[in-house]
Chain A
Amino acid sequence: MTVLIRSTLKLLFRNVGFWAFLLFAPLLSLLILNSNTTYSVNDDLDGYEIIELETDEKIAYYGQGYFSVKVYDASGSRISDDLLNDLSSVGMYKICRLKCPDMTYEEYLTKTDNDAYNDRMGASMYLTKDLDGIISQGDTKDALKINILSDDERSDMFLNDVELSLGRILIAGGEDSFEEMKGSAPSKRSVTVPEEGEIILTPKQADDKMKIGYAFSFLTFGFVFCGVFVAHTAITEQKNLVQLRIMLTGEKYGTYFVSKFIATFITTVLITVIISAGLMLMDPVKLGMGRPKLILMIFLLGLVESSLSLLLGILSGKVMTSNFVAFSLWAMSSLLSGLYFPLDDTTTTIKVISYIMPQKWFMNGAEMFFAQDKKAYLVLLCITAAYLLVIISVGSVGLKIKKQYE
């Protein structure tokens, strides 16, 4: 056994490709984990804040269940602030304001033509330059223009609310009076309650989870191909009849597969050590969880992924096929486990398939760690043990059956 492991490791360390994957995957993952990129579009869970647009950008991403309204604000006045804040606080509309003091009504109409076909929103609104002056004369019709740009039935509610807010502003008369009027109203608060088993993440945690997902994807790539490099040694040994000679010495197929598995285990440890060294230099706040937890997850994920690709590679019996299988395994499992996008709203079939993917369980584990749920350790260890049991059993038996058929 020791000789088998040593000879496999020798072959691996002589392979430049193996070293490339050994270093490339952890480094890329560390870059992602260390980045300051934010992935969550909307930090305001209740939707009460106005989104101030710096440039004339699309607002499609801000909708997310809300009736989104793009406001071209040529006024930038007190009344425009009051009106938009009042509408935002209803909790049903996402108000995105672009301050554009020089925009004319004709220019707004051109913008609306573009918004109607190249963006997604409930309505667009133009607040004229002299909004305060016109409204103080009671002329609301000329003060603002609204274009409804969707078939969303909430457009009527929106129009009612605009009328109501303008009515309130007119009654209040002045800035202080409107604030006073709002202050005398009963205050409201909203609380979001998660469904059974669901964990609500804060925007920072959601960002960290996305980062971990991308990092896991690159790490999976590295682990899978390190497993394949070990599989290549087995395939070459099969081809050159080395495996047959080993079997003639009295070794069993199970021992042979376990030796390859141990070689894979060592490559996993190597990748984990490299990434751990990098993580030690990083600010733990950026990771969203303690370093030991993340390192444990990476190690267990690596063990499952590299063993799985080793198994599939050996069973495929061809170097090219094993590469293709490893690439497909990485691409499909990363997509279907939700490393790039959450799969919460997908079909039941896809959800069931996603639970077969090892990375899905590790993403769930990350969520549990964020929520300080100690059961995460048990879940991750059980999942890893289950996968390894299946892989080693199928590997040992599979090799024997394959040999019989050959």
Chain B
Amino acid sequence: MIRYLIKNYLKMMGRSPVNVLLFIVFPIVLIAVLSSAFSSLMESYERKESFSVGYIMEDDSIFGDYMEEIKKIARENDVTFKAYDEGDPDKLMKDEELESFVIFGKDDYVIYKRTGSPTEGMITEYILTAFMRNMETYREGMMRGMEVPQVELDVSYPDHMPEVDSIDYYGKIEIIYFVWCGLICFAGIIMAEKRYKISQRLLMSGLSVTKIYLAKLISSTIIVSACTLIAALATIAMFGVKWGAPLKSALVIFLMIVAALCMELMIYYICDNMVITIVISFAAVWIAGFFSGSFETYLFSSHPESTKVLFPIYHGNRAIVELASGGRSDYFMSSVIYSLSMIVGCSILALIAGKIRRRGRA
């Protein structure tokens, strides 16, 4: 009997376009927007292999004598300095494909940086600043009759969180967030069941509360898992999101799908009202997502760590992101344990509530 119920639920859920919209389109839109919003904050340092910088040397400039030395140092950094007699730096940069431009005045210099090439502008400035400072230090040392002192530094390289760019972060995090909204899959069906008194007929048919609960849980798990898989594959195809440790990641996500559905079914079994269930579940998931890095990256948010660890989404988010970036995560086990505890705890409570309600009706 349970087989037929599952099959029937699957058919009905599979036909609903809302599932597709919620589980595939919404996360993809959110990934695109949030990854874009945080891209400059989360991007790693990356420079063009080689690039050109234009310069104009004014006639009485003190830099004239050092230009060959500057060019040599720049070449060592794969930067080519090109001389121009005159012209507008803005126009020259655009026409001649220069990443930045320098005007060497009498005893000062102006660096023009393009907004589209901030890193290259920074490198140009770094090369010039380092050169000027070295010159200044040697000159000062000579004047004072001192050699440039040897400076020793105490530098350590401890383990740290590998850098994750915004696409790789939100590409996973939003999929996880929507996993927790699995309720929407069966909300319509349960509402229809109630409207047409099918749930009462099912109870009269001799099916136990446990079997009906399992039928709902198994069918919704299958649909949510399938939609999540499609969404994850879409993120790989569209954005090139890198998912690491596939088996462990799949386990974490699958357990979260079941845990989320158990929690939402439990709320429904307790309050027996789908509208209230939707409001409570979505509010709870939004709050959990807010503290767990679903909207603002958890590395950036200033919420206390002690608050974040209260939410299962945080454990899942960290496990998935860290498994992909570093191959291991301290949050893998905690996420699995958290989800399993929720599955067991919520199922027991849901079944108790269901049985009490059945007895009350009988």
Q: Indicate whether B113 reaches chain A with its CB closer than 8 angstroms.
A: yes
Interface status of B107 (Cβ within 8 A of chain A): yes
Does A406 touch B at the CB level, under 8 Å?
no
Segment of B145-153, B259-267, B278-286 in the binding face: B145-153
B51 interface contact, C-beta 8 A = no
**B48 proximal to A (CB < 8 A):** no
Of B93, B123, B141, the contact of A171 (CB 8 Å cutoff): B141
B158 touches A186 (CB 8 A): no
Which A169-214 residues have a C-beta within 8 angstroms of B?
A: 170-173, 181, 184-196, 198, 200
Could you tell me the distance in whole angstroms from the C-beta of A201 to the nearest C-beta in chain B? 11
Residues of B within 8 A of A171 (CB): 137, 140-141, 144, 146, 148-149
Is there contact, CB below 8 Å, between A168 and B133? yes
A60 located at the interface, meaning its Cβ lies under 8 Å from any Cβ of chain B in the complex: yes
Contact A335 B30 (CB under 8 A): yes
A200 close to B154 (CB less than 8 A)? no
Residues in chain B near residue A112, CB distance under 8 A: 158
- Shortest CB-to-CB span from A248 to chain B, Å, is 36
A228 contacts across to B, CB distance below 8 A = none
Nearest CB of chain B from residue A112's CB, rounded to whole Å = 6
Q: Are A192 and B133 in contact (CB under 8 A)?
A: no
Closest to A142 in B: B154
Q: Please indicate the chain B residues that have their CB under 8 angstroms from the CB of A160 in the complex.
A: 130
Quick check: is A350 within 8 A (CB to CB) of the other chain?
A: yes
Closest to A160 in B: B130
Interface contact B299-A118, CB-CB below 8 Å: yes
CB contact under 8 A between A164 and B149, given known A60-B299, A120-B300, A141-B154: no
B40 and A192 form a contact (CB under 8 A): no
Task: Return the contact of A186 from the options B109, B140, B161, B163 (Cβ within 8 A).
Answer: B109
Taking CB atoms, residues of chain B closer than 8 Å to A194 are 115
Q: Say whether A167 contacts B29, CB under 8 Å.
A: no
How far apart are A255's CB and chain B's nearest CB, in angstroms? 34
- Does A166 reach chain B (CB closer than 8 Å)? yes
Please give, as numbers and ranges, the residues of chain A lying within 8 Å of B300 by CB-CB distance: 58, 60-61, 120
Bound CA–CA A150/B44 (angstroms)? 10
A119 interfacial contact with B, CB 8 Å: yes
With a cutoff of 8 Å between Cβ atoms, the chain B residues found around residue A117 in the complex are 160-161
Binds B, one of A231-239, A264-272, A338-346, A372-380: A338-346
Q: State in angstroms the CA–CA spacing of A170 and B144 once bound together.
A: 12
A63 at the interface (CB under 8 A from B): yes
- Contact partner of B158 among A116, A120, A152, A154, CB < 8 A? A116
From A67, which residue of chain B is reached at the shortest CB distance? B45
Q: 0/1 per residue, B6-35, Cβ < 8 Å to A?
A: 000000000000000000000001101111
Instruction: Report how far A170 CA is from B140 CA in the complex, Å.
Output: 11
- Contact (Cβ within 8 A) A167 B148: yes
A188's partner among B109, B114, B161, B305 (CB-CB below 8 A) is B109
Bound: A161/B89 CA distance, A:
29
Binds B, one of A87-95, A307-315, A359-367: A87-95
The smallest C-beta distance from B121 to any residue of chain A, in angstroms, reads: 8
Give complex CA distance A293, B144 in Å. 63
Inter-chain CA distance A113–B161, complex, in Å, is 10
Task: Check if A172 sits within 8 Å of B302, measured CB to CB.
Answer: no
With both chains docked as a complex, state the minimum distance between the C-beta of B34 and any C-beta of chain A, in angstroms.
7
Contacts of B111 in A (CB 8 A): 188-191
- Collect the chain A residues with CB atoms within 8 Å of residue B151's CB: 140, 162-163, 166-167, 170
Query: A1 near B: Cβ within 8 Å?
Result: no
- A:129-156 near B, CB below 8 Å: 138, 140-142, 144-154
Q: Taking A163-B153, A195-B115 as contacts, is the C-beta distance between A346 and B146 under 8 angstroms? A: no
Contact, CB under 8 Å: B122 / A120:
no
Chain B positions within 8 Å of A162 at CB level: 151, 153
- Asked if B118 is at the interface (CB within 8 A of a chain A CB), the reply is yes
Task: Specify the chain B residue showing the minimal Cβ separation from A163.
Answer: B151
Q: 10 A-B Cβ contacts within 8 A?
A: A58-B299, A91-B129, A146-B153, A167-B137, A167-B151, A171-B144, A173-B144, A185-B132, A192-B121, A346-B35
Besides the known contacts A120-B161, A187-B108, 17 further A-B residue pairs in the complex with CB atoms under 8 A apart? A60-B41, A65-B119, A120-B163, A152-B44, A162-B153, A171-B148, A188-B111, A188-B132, A193-B93, A193-B114, A198-B115, A200-B115, A340-B33, A341-B38, A345-B39, A346-B36, A347-B238
